[in-house]
Every structure is written in structure tokens, then in C-alpha cells.
Chains A and B, each alone.
Chain A
Amino acid sequence: MKKAFLHYLISSCFLLACCITLIVWPWRSISEKDFEGLKANIENGAYIYNAAGCHSCHLDENKSEDPHLLAGGHILKSDFGNFIVPNISPHPIAGIGNWTRLEFATALVDGVSPKGQHYYPAFPYTSYAQMSKQDIVDLFAYIKTLPEISTPTPSSDIKFPFNIRLGLGPWKLFFHSKQGRNSGLNNEISLERGAYIVEALAHCGECHTPRSVNGSLIHNKAYSGVNSAQGRGAIPNITPHENGIGSWSEEEIVEYLASGFTPEFDSAGGNMASVIEKTSKLTEEDIKSIALYLKSLRPLP
């Protein structure tokens, strides 16, 4: 009797451990096969680098304003603690110089580091996972051409229990779809291209979509703005609702993304000014595609 109970106990503990492992395990969804035959185009990589705004976070703006120096060190403050943005320059020790193309892609798509650790979604892999494989290959090749910086990254200061990275396993199960997206044609104005830039590359929703208490984006309130996230002031609603940019024409959205001037001739400030710095370098077709896509969003108050 005793033996049977012990047997039962051990096997249920084992089963439970298996289930927990399955949930918290940093699963990888891609392999080298996904990239077979893809040749890197560094010029497109530079374009993607700008559109994805890698340097918005990975640049150490206290040391340099050169958008090619990915020293990291920028602090992202959140309710979960302070995330310190890492060095992703091609330095072999301090940066990602020793990473393979697959490891880089795994970071973007699965949010998993080469050491097999989950990344916090402060790194917007929930958006980058939608990038096309070609763009990932090009971006990696471009970052490899940038200057190496030897500054090591200090560790982030995350509050308990969020500092346990394994906890991100179940989070990803619910909130990270890893669904790819068609990149559309980059020389044509289309909804598909606009969606690709807004959702996958420029990750507009990471700021403009409200988040739930667990830090995930609330998709049925997409782009309706956030009252007060990081720092002060509200992040505006960018849906075509009267509380958002419903009164803006497509031309006015294009003008804003190209020059930073609103229809009332206010000029973007703070983080958005830094975003305009990037959108202003996109091709005319791509800016128009973004405007087309924003106008097609569901109007939300």
C-alpha cells in the first residue's frame, strides 16, 4: 500500500516536472533550413535597421549621437524594474560579434538568447517575429558592418518575481504568436506593405497600444493610445477616430512622418521626434503605405 502510494507520488511529481519544463522551456521555432538560399543585401539591411529603429534603444545617447554605435546602456524604466539595453555592436565579447545568423534570428523571432534564455518583451520580439526571413538576414549582415564597441552591458535591475526569466515561458505561450508576415513590395504603395512596416518593423504598437497588467499588448484596443506609460504625458491615439487622427488626411499623415509637423504645425517632440528621424528616411512609397494602413485601422476612442 505504502509502496503503491510512493510510486504514485513519484510518477505524478515526474509528470508535473515534465509539464512545467515544457511550459517554461525556451523553445526555438526556426532552424537554418528557413534561411537556405537567402543571400544578404547589406543596403536593404541598412534600410531595415533604420525602419526597425534598433538604434532608438541600443544607442547610448549619453555617449554619442552617432546612430551606428550600438553600445547599449540605455535604461528602460517600467513597472517590472529597470531594463538595461544591451550592447549589440559586432564586438565578439561585449556585443553580438560571435553570434550566428540563426542565433540572431532566434533572438528576433523566438525571443531566446544564444545561451537559451528568454528575453523580456522590453525587446520587441513580439513585433520583430513578424519580419520576413530575408529582412532578418539583411539586417544581421548590416549590423555586422558597424563599429565594434567593447563596453560590457550591466545587468538589468528587475523586481522579484519578474527577475525569474523562466516565468516568460508561460507568458510567451499566451502572448507571443511568432506568426510571420508578408513584407509586401518595397516600391509599391500597398496596405500589406504598410501593415508590415507598422506591425513588424517600426513596432508602433509597442508604445501606442495599451498594455495589460502582465505587460502584454491589448490587441482589441490596438493603437488607441496610452494615458501615461513611461515618463510623462499621454501617448496619442493613432486610429482614425475623432480622438485619434480621424481628422488627418493621408497626405497629412505622410507630411507628419516625413517632417514631424502636424496639420496644426506643431512639431513632434520627445521620443516621437526620434521616431520621425527614422520615418523621414523611409521611401515615399513606404511612408504612403504606412498612412494607408493607419487610415484602415479600426477607429477606437
Chain B
Amino acid sequence: MIFKALKTVAIISVLSLSNLSAIAHDGVEMGSEMSARHYVMKSVASAASVAVPMLKGGEFDKNAATLAAASMAAAGNAFPYLFTNEDAGSEGTKASANIWSDKAGFDSISLQMANAGHDAYVAAKAGDEEGFKAAFGQAMKTCRACHSKYREK
């Protein structure tokens, strides 16, 4: 029960933080697990687009950094629950069959993203610019690590 509640909280927090207007226009069908994944992925891209200029030496905006980091953490927490339907190979998804054949590995890398996102959140909230940059950079490294094994193309 608590598990389910946590899952819902994670998903809702991601959706609320993501760029809803962009989502509304992309024509993905609402409601399915696959579309939920796409929203969460978009929230990660939005968070990265906010954070990367800061990581590259742009002006540090404490509030924007905090939101971006929270979004990363929430997405990392949500991913393990967004791939319950084994649908690798079906229309509209680039999900690799590896997600289901190696669920433990997939969950572990999602957790790494969540933890790094959380560290970045704590640092950003405390105004620790360097700590935020380091942790957010770690969170972004998990994107490629995960996509190389668990996504086709």
C-alpha cells in the first residue's frame, strides 16, 4: 500500500515538474504506461535543459536548479515502476528487451539516477553550486549508461 502510494507520489511529482505545454502538443495518447514513460523522459530532458547551462558555467539559479534536481530524482524513482508491461519491439517504444531480462540491473541504474538527483537537490537547496553541479553531472551520466543497455537506438 505504502509502496503504491510512493509510486503515485513519484509519478505525480515528475508530471507536475515537467513541461506540460510541450507534452500537450506532442500527440502521445494519454493514459497508457508507454505514454507515461514518454512524459517522464521529457521531464528529464526539460530538467537537463535547465541545468546544463549552469553546469557549463552559466549563472547559478538556486530555484531552477532545485526544481531540475527534484525532477531528476523523481524520474529515477519512477522508472522502475513504468516498465511493468513487457512491450519491447512494439510500435512506439524504443525500450529494449534487456529491461525485462535484467530488471535488477535496470532498477539499480534507475536508483543511481534517483540518488544522484537527490544529492543534487539537497545541494541546490542549500545553495551549494559546486555540489549541485557534481551531483547533477552524475545523474546525467546515468542517461547514457542506461540507454546503451536498455534502449534500442
Contact = CB atoms under 8 A, between A and B. Distances in A.
A277 B96 CA distance: 19
Interface stretch (A21-29, A198-206, A211-219, A268-276): A268-276
Contacts of A268: 144, 147-148
A233 interface: yes
A233 B153 contact: yes
Contact of A273 (B44, B89, B140, B147): B147
B48 interface: yes
Given A265-B52, A268-B147, A233 B45 contact: no
B152 interface: yes
Given A232-B89, A233-B94, A261-B48, A267 B152 contact: no
A260 interface: yes
A233 B48 contact: no
A241 to B, nearest CB: 19
A276 B153 CA distance: 12
Interface in A227-273: 231-235, 259-261, 264-273
B144 A276 contact: yes
Contacts of A235: 153
Contacts of B152: 231-233, 269-270
Given A233-B94, A276-B144, A269 B151 contact: yes
B8 interface: no
A270 B153 contact: yes
Interface residues of A, number: 21
Interface in B65-107: 89, 94, 96
A270 B151 contact: yes
A265 B49 contact: yes
A204 to B, nearest CB: 15
B48 A265 contact: yes
Interface string A123-134: 000000000000
B49 A269 contact: no
A67 to B, nearest CB: 13
Contacts of A273: 144, 147-148, 151
Contacts of A232: 89, 94, 152-153
B143 interface: yes
Interface string A265-301: 1111111111011000000000000000000000000
A276 B147 CA distance: 11
Contacts of A259: 140, 144
A170 to B, nearest CB: 34
B57 to A, nearest CB: 14
A269 B45 contact: no
Given A265-B48, A277-B148, A260 B143 contact: yes
Interface string B130-153: 000000000010011001100111
Nearest to B48: A265
B138 to A, nearest CB: 13
A264 B147 CA distance: 16
A276 B89 CA distance: 24
B94 A269 contact: yes
B153 A267 contact: no
Contacts of B45: 264-266
A272 B153 contact: yes
A266 B45 CA distance: 6
Contacts of A261: 48, 52, 140, 143
12 contacts: A261-B48, A261-B143, A265-B44, A265-B45, A265-B49, A269-B147, A269-B148, A269-B152, A270-B147, A273-B148, A277-B144, A277-B148
